[in-house]
């Protein structure tokens, strides 16, 4: 009943529902939607190391077993924990205004009762870099920058640096805290969280992100030249080691001697939304496609599904997988971690001898509107460590990221944002690829 209601609720905003609405029972067509809807409904937010992430692992083991996967297991590891706390911010001068803020992962807490200090405006990360050493002593740095949406998501590399590197840089210059403009492309008043880091020897400081409209407000006020002051309460803070884990499951192939195909996603999510596009969708796509690739006959090779834990706070699941399985040969790895919008582009990282295989895959995807690009595929955080360790072949099925960073790491990352027809296109594309690679009898390997 719940599933039916969810489908109806989701159906309304989208015009192209045929792929989902016409799905025949027993064809595996609803597997992806059901994983996505049920994980986001029955578990919801699942912060790395939390009790909810543990609940997601239990949920995942039960679901993958029920779907017919073999060797379904949870593989535990430990992470440095971080928990969120109260988080508020107000400009106190020259114009008192409440702001919408969220702490970044690995932020430390503000002192009891919060802190109030001068806010120093920087238009970019480069402007912060250029500030003289110790010039931020006793002050809060604010770093502005306006990320723009693009289809391939490539803005996340440079703009994401403000979140990844900005806090450590501000700390080195003496700041007592840092506030950044959210790394996102929307104009909603939801801030975007995400992980930051403080290298050895750099004192961690409280670090938060404000929504884009709040960043624009700060920029307008800073431009007046009047001193700006901010009151901050950010109580999120590191805690000791916490339990996490990967969920791994196999669909055994006809020839157990052939190295398997590894397909990955991550099971953990940030805690503000329900982790629908990041990354329940990816787990739904890889598992549904692995199952559908078996229809019409079991492939030669085993397809292994990795639903990784603790990706968001530092890619711990991928590292743990490579450590646990580094001695087992693998053939090829792929990952889905960029939402549920349609696949539009295809990349390979194949040995020269596998070019005919790449050509066959590219030809199979062309009817789905997916074009080949000659840049090298790199997989993603959850499969990168095993790819590097074993020089694996990689295929990237790149999704349309135009609206991904409107939602990424916000309270708005929820089920209703997923278009069932585009989700189905993803499963169809992945299935087409898996059918070919899992039936390849010859050696498959990455570039030397
Ligand atoms: Zn993700």
Q: Residue 279 C-alpha to ligand 1 middle, in angstroms?
A: 5
d(CA 354, CA 442): 9
Looking at residue 448, what is its pLDDT? 82
Q: What is the CA(242)–ligand 1 centre distance, in A?
A: 20
pTM of the model: 0.93
Rounded to the nearest angstrom, the distance between the alpha carbon of 101 and the centre of ligand 1 is 21
pLDDT at 235: 98
**Distance of CA 376 from the midpoint of ligand 1 (Å):** 20
Rounded distance from Cα 330 to ligand 1 centre (Å): 23
Decide the pairing of beta strands 228-234 and 115-122.
antiparallel
- Copy the structure tokens of residue 84: 């969120």
Q: How far is the CA of 375 from the centre of ligand 1 (A)?
A: 22
Can you give the pLDDT at residue 29? 54
Using only C-alpha atoms, what is the Rg of the chain? Answer: 23
Q: Please tell me the number of Cα atoms within 13 Å of 129 on its side-chain side.
A: 6
Q: What is the pLDDT of residue 398?
A: 98
Cis peptide before 184 (omega within 30 of 0): no
Cα-to-centroid distance, 194 and ligand 1 (Å):
10
Helix (H, G, I), strand (E, B) or coil at 63: helix
Neighbours of ion ligand 1 (CB under 5 A): 278-279, 337
Q: Kindly state the tokens that stand for 79.
A: 């992470």
Using DSSP, state whether 229 is helix, strand or coil: strand
| Token pair belonging to 280 | 């329940």
Who contacts 253 (Cβ-Cβ below 8 Å, separation ≥6)?
260, 298, 299, 300, 301, 302, 303, 438
- Consecutive 10-residue averages of pLDDT for the chain (448 residues): 39 39 48 98 98 98 98 98 98 98 98 98 97 96 92 90 97 98 96 98 98 98 98 97 98 98 98 98 98 96 98 98 98 98 98 98 97 97 98 98 97 97 97 98 95
pLDDT, position 145: 85
Residue 146's pLDDT is: 84
Task: Compute, in angstroms, the gap from residue 205 CA to the centroid of ligand 1.
Answer: 25
Q: Which two tokens stand for residue 297?
A: 């006959």
């Amino acid at each position: 009943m719940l599933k039916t209601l969810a489908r109806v609720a989701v159906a309304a905003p989208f015009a192209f529902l045929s792929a989902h609405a016409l799905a025949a029972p027993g064809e595996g067509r609803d597997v992806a939607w059901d994983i996505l809807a049920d994980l986001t409904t029955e578990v919801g937010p699942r912060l790395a190391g939390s009790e909810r992430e543990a609940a997601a692992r239990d949920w995942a083991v039960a679901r993958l077993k029920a779907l017919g996967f073999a060797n379904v297991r949870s593989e535990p590891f430990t992470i440095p924990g971080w928990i969120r706390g109260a988080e508020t911010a107000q400009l106190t001068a020259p114009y008192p205004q409440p702001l919408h803020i969220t702490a970044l992962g690995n932020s430390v807490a503000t002192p009891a009762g919060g802190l109030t200090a001068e806010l120093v405006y920087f238009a970019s990360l480069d402007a912060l870099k250029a500030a003289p050493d110790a010039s931020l002593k006793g002050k809060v740095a604010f770093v502005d920058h306006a990320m723009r949406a693009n289809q391939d998501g490539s803005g996340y590399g440079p703009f994401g640096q403000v979140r990844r590197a900005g806090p450590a840089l501000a700390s080195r210059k003496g700041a007592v805290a840092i506030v950044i403009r959210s790394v996102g492309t929307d104009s909603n008043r939801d801030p975007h969280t995400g992980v930051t880091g403080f290298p050895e020897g750099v004192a961690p400081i409280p670090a938060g992100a404000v929504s884009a409209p709040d960043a624009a407000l700060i920029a307008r006020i800073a431009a007046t030249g009047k001193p700006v002051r901010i009151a901050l309460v950010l109580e999120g803070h590191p805690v000791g080691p916490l339990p996490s884990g990967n969920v791994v499951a196999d669909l055994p192939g006809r020839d157990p001697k052939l190295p398997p195909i590894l397909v990955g996603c991550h099971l953990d999510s940030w805690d503000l939304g329900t982790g629908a596009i990041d990354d329940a969708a990816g787990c739904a796509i890889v598992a549904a496609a692995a199952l559908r690739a078996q229809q019409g006959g079991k492939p030669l090779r085993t397809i292994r599904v990795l639903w990784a834990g603790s990706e968001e706070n530092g890619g711990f699941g991928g590292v743990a997988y490579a450590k646990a399985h580094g001695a087992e040969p693998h053939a090829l790895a792929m990952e889905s971690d960029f939402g549920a919008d349609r696949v539009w582009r295809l990349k390979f990282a194949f040995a020269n001898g596998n070019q005919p295989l790449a050509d066959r895959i590219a030809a199979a995807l062309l009817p789905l509107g997916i074009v080949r690009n000659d840049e090298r595929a790199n997989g993603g955080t959850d499969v990168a460590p095993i790819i590097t360790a074993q020089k694996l072949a990689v295929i990237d099925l790149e999704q349309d990221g135009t609206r991904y960073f409107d939602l990424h790491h916000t309270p708005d990352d929820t089920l209703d944002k997923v278009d069932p027809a585009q989700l189905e296109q993803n499963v169809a594309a992945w299935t087409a690829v898996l059918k070919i690679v899992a039936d390849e009898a010859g050696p498959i390997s990455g570039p030397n």
